Structure 1
Amino acid sequence: MYSIGEKIYTKKNHACGKNEWEVKRIGADIKLVCTNCQREIMLPKRELDKKIIKKD
């Protein structure tokens, strides 16, 4: 389960070089914001579950 404000780390780095994201919105899709460059993405929960390595 994800919660707003939680930090998530992905297996692959983002184009900016960081792999740390912050959860901003939860719904049918989960909105993430890169903690380095502030890029926002939205992913379905099932897809996100496959891409993360750990949560804080």
Structure 2
Amino acid sequence: MDIKLNDIVVLKKGHACGANLWKIVRFGADVKLECQECKRIIMMPRVEVKKKVKKVIELEE
């Protein structure tokens, strides 16, 4: 699955606020994700994110 900066992705598990959409804010060895509901920012290793992504909703060029 090809993930790029500013993509909106759906993860397998939802956030505590109830949302399931995340925006890729930073992409490197670690990935910074921003919840689209509450705007909370989290960081995860890239390998873990690739395992947890269910699908890419929106690709912004």
TM-score when scaled to structure 2? 0.84
Give unmatched runs, 5+ long, in structure 1: none
1:37-56, Cα deviation, whole Å (9 max, x unpaired): 00001111110111110012
The runs of 4+ residues in structure 1 deviating greater than 6 Å are none
* Cα deviation 1:5-44 (Å, max 9, x = unaligned): 1001011110000110000011110100000000001111
What amino acid maps onto 2:26 in structure 1?
Answer: R
Amino acid at match of 1:29: D
* Letter of the 1:47 counterpart: E
How big is the alpha-carbon RMSD for the aligned residues of Structure 1 and Structure 2? 0.9
- Note the 1:14-53 alignment, pairs <5 A: 14-53=15-54
CA distance in 2, matches of 1:53, 1:4: 17
TM-score (norm 1): 0.91
Q: Secondary structure at the match of 1:17?
A: coil
